[in-house]
Structure 1
Amino acid sequence: MDFELTTTDLLSKKRQIICYYYRGYVRLLTLFGVIASLSALFFFTFANFIYQTLLQIIHGYISQNRLTTLVNISKSIGSFLCLSCFIFTMAIVIKMILLYIFFPDWLKKQLSTIQETVVIGQTQNNYLLSLKNKQFTIKKSTSQLVTTFLEETQLKIGQRSAPFGLAPATLFLLTSKPIETLNTPSRCNWNKIFLFLFSFVMILGIMSACIFMVQTESHQELADEFNYQQGILSRTLSEPEVNDTVVTQIGDTPTDHIKEPNYLRLQGKELYMTTDSGTTWQFVPIKPEWLQEQQSLTRNLPQKNDWLEQTYNIESEFSWFIFSPNSESQSLYQLSSRDKGKTWQKSLITNQFGPIRYRKVTFFEDGSGVAVFSTTFSHSEESLRVFTTADYGQTWRKSGRTLIGKPIQNASYLSPAAGFLATREDLYYTRDHGQSFNKATITIPEGYSANELSFFQAPNTIVATGSAKLEATFHLANAKDRPNRKVFACLFQSVNEGKSWTFVQQLSQIVSID
């Protein structure tokens, strides 16, 4: 074979050869596209759906943590596969470009390979070739005639046999000499085997994750019960004179009058309340520290300003307290009175909860109410649970749960079904009793910066001004006041039940940031 004449002849066949090779590359690009799409669908969309579904079923916060670990692993695998597909795709695209640009140089390298490739036999459907003592087959149905030499030797191009036709194309010589016909060997259907193994691995992974979560949940229930009983035993041994969730009065009842009609007093280590400006005082049978923030429990004496917002309310018609016996308690209770504190009723909200970081309870005129509690979950994430009542808190039921990516700053409910959660950066709304939360859209006006954005601060709330109209006060920093930016309270309005918010007007200055 004359190399110069062959090269000249094959250069005239550039379009045919490149198109054949490109078809193989397109199959690879299609495969990587399918893998990336399936990875995104399975490891992101489907995994997130399973995650949200299991989140409504799982009770233990340790189980939630493991569930989050599983979904994070799923996202990591999905990200790795998508990134790998992207890298391989770019490599193939670059290879296609280089093949077109440097085709003559590539062709010269291929000629030496063509000389070393020998057809050693054939079957009904395949050619059997050998290259450097390595045998492979090429399907006859995929082979094309490129050119014919004088000695009736044909130069063909064909596709190697491989799963999904992903093997590279090969140029080879087919002489006029008779080729030995071999018996057709039985071959494995690699396409079906690959699909079967892929499906099997996916199903096995889903089953393993479900079994892992079910076992984790069972272990968590045992752990919750054990921790709960240990907490009761610990408190009983250390404080034998005090009941689990009720304390008795030791000190003297206050007798002085005050200006405020409804007031809660911290006297020593006991709580007293009045609903008539101090004419009568009633002992509140819980410990002051049960109303405190978790981080303030290390102080020797409880401070009233350490109490969590919206954990109690004093009124003549209905007074209530939300408390947890200790910082590590799994239980949350409500203590309430409807006769100005003369008698008290205690009710259990939940006995499956970890250390509380945020809690807020809202009651409505008809006796219905919403309780929102959160615990630190992982890093900055918080596990949120929503409970509702229809009988002034005598009975509670869990209505929703979710994970919030940032610490909760405040919560505001318009009804047991409709409410809002605010973090430092985002506002979320629910219309289904807390079963799901969606991020609201906030339009920041020109001249203001979102760097100091702060949503409705306690005790401020979101108020309804119409059937679908809402108003709230958000804090924004003036972008023009530098370096001492001033923060202002700004009125925002929503006309679609809180899905999106627009600026109305600036109200007042809040604080100057140095």
Structure 2
Amino acid sequence: MKNFILGTAVTVMTGLIAGFIFYHSPSKLAEIQEPNVQEPPMEQPLYADEAVDYSLQNNEVNITFDKGKSWLTVPIEKENLFNGEYSGNQEKLMENSYVLTEKRTAFLYSEQDSIKILSSSDQGESWQESVVAEHYPPIRFRKINILNDHFGYVIISGDRTMSQEMSSVFLTHDGGNTWKEANHSNITRLVADGGFIDGQTGFLSFGILNPEQPELHVTQDGGASWSEAEIRIPKKYHKIFVIAETPFKEGNQLAMLVNQGPSGDYSGGKVKGKFLSRDGGKTWEFDGEVQSDE
């Protein structure tokens, strides 16, 4: 009897010790099932909508020239592309703030208080940085275009107070290596649009806050002087077509669309007025209504 009790006690003690060791030892099963907590590798851009396109994935700027088969990282800080009073939604580059074609790539950006351009003419094999303006207030409107191997323009605005701001036009005649500021238009309304047809003829459109009529200024001497263009709007369309867009060449004349502004509701806000000029943009005659997406 005594031996039976002693044996039972030994068995119980052995079980308790084994249980203690089991519950206080690392579990082999737990080690196997423990998830991998390492950060997954960053995804690389995998697609492109066009043969020449860009991506802002991974907080960096990448470009492709072969519809996404290969990507090249642009040596620029992504945040610099959005610096300024207006910064867009930062999910895509701001419209007109860059040039991306098979022959030319250029990004307009602000770094501290300088306005700069990073450009490439060999699909990103080499890059050149040029300074447009050494000191400039935080920019709102920005637009860059390179028309050929020599001529290009930059239009920017800043220092806005209510419905007034300063605007500037910079031109290059050496492919973007150097930039020179054109004479000011002396108009302080908010810039709506602008651009150049060639090295001599350019336009600035003003008025984006409740405009009642378009205000377009033209230069025909490469920015040395500016004058207001005459836009002959039929009475039917007064206070309907109110913001001039950048004119463009159409055959042997110039054409321009004038939109309804942010609150236009004529024909559901889906039409614009088309105007034509035969004197280089000084005067404009109404040609007809066109759909907004044309």
Same fold (TM over 0.5): yes
Match in the other structure for 2:236: 447
What amino acid does structure 1 have at the position aligned with 2:100? I
Summarize the Cα distance change of 1:466–1:261 in structure 2 as closer, same or farther, 3 Å threshold.
Answer: closer
- Structure 2, unmatched stretches of 5+, are 1-40, 208-213
Give the Å deviation of 1:470: 1.0
Aligned pairs (5 A) from 1:255-294: 256-292=46-82, 294=84
Among 314, 319, 343, the alignment partner of 2:105 is 319
Aligned partners of 2:102 and 2:123 also within 8 Å: yes
- 1:487 CA displacement: 5.1
Find out whether 1:352 has 2:142 as its counterpart.
no
Q: Which runs of 5+ in 1 are unaligned?
A: 1-250
Deviation at 1:451, TM superposition (A): 4.5
The code of the aligned residue for 2:230 comes to T
The 1:356–1:397 alpha-carbon spacing in structure 2 relative to 1, beyond 3 Å, is same
In structure 1, C-alpha distance between the alignment counterparts of 2:205 and 2:161, rounded to whole Å: 18
Q: 1:265 to 1:403 in 2, by over 3 A?
A: same
Letter of the aligned partner of 1:343 in structure 2?
Answer: S
Matches within 5 A, 1:101-500: 254=44, 256-292=46-82, 294-295=84-85, 303-305=90-92, 307-325=93-111, 329-424=112-207, 425-456=214-245, 461-465=246-250, 469-476=253-260, 486=269, 488-500=271-283
How far the C-alpha of 1:342 sits from its partner, in A, is 2.5
How far apart in 1 are the matches of 2:288 and 2:171? 35
Say if 1:361 and 1:259 are closer, same or farther in 2 by CA, change over 3 A: closer
1:463-484 deviations in Å (ceiling 9; x for gaps): 22355x211111259xxx88x8
Secondary structure of the residue aligned to 1:289 is helix
**What letter matches 1:490 in structure 2?**
G
Instruction: State how far apart, in whole Å, the 1-side matches of 2:292 and 2:73 are.
Output: 41
Amino acid of the structure 2 residue aligned with 1:442 = I
Deviations 1:427-450 (A, max 9, x none): 111112223221111111132232
Distance in 1 of aligned mates of 2:125 and 2:194: 31
1:332 deviation in Å? 1.0
Which of the pair has more CA radius of gyration?
1
Alpha-carbon distance in 1 for matches of 2:49, 2:250: 33
**In the alignment, residue 347 of structure 1 is paired with which amino acid?**
S
- The answer to whether the 8 A contact 2:241-2:273 is kept is no
Tell me if structure 1 keeps the 8 A contact 2:45–2:55.
Answer: no
The answer on whether the counterparts of 2:231 and 2:285 sit within 8 Å (CA) in structure 1 is: yes
Q: Is the 2:142–2:157 Cα contact (8 Å) retained in structure 1?
A: yes
SS of the aligned residue for 1:313 comes to strand
Deviation of 1:348 (Å): 1.3
SS at match of 2:56: strand
- Rounded to whole Å, the distance in 1 between the matches of 2:155 and 2:227 is 16
Q: Alpha carbons of 1:399 and 1:423: their partners in 2 closer, same or farther (altered >3 Å)? A: closer
Asked whether the 8 Å contact 1:293–1:308 carries over to 2, the reply is no
Structure of greater relative contact order (alpha carbons < 8 Å, 6+ residues apart): 2
Higher helix share: 1
Aligned pairs, number: 244
Structure 1 counterpart of 2:177, which letter? Q
Partners of 2:225 and 2:129 in 1: CA distance:
30
Q: Secondary structure at the match of 2:186?
A: strand
C-alpha deviation, 1:397, in angstroms: 1.9
Q: Distance in 2 between matches of 1:303 and 1:422?
A: 25
Residues 263 and 314, structure 1, Cα contact 8 Å, conserved in 2: yes
Q: Please report how far the alpha carbon of residue 413 of structure 1 lies from its aligned counterpart in structure 2 after TM superposition.
A: 0.8
Q: Which amino acid aligns with 2:54?
A: L
Residue 175 of structure 2 aligns to a residue in which SS? coil
Task: Write the letter of the residue equivalent to 2:64.
Answer: T
Q: Report the Cα offset of residue 309 of structure 1.
A: 2.3
- 8 A contact 1:400–1:433 mirrored in 2: no
8 Å CA contact retained: 1:443, 1:501? yes
8 Å Cα contact 1:363/1:370 also seen in 2 = yes
SS at match of 1:401: coil
Amino acid in structure 2 at the alignment position of 1:445: P
Runs of 4+ more than 6 Å apart: none
Give the superposed CA RMSD: 2.7
Distance 1:464 1:386, change over 3 A: same
Could you state the TM-score of these two structures normalised by the residue count of structure 2?
Answer: 0.74
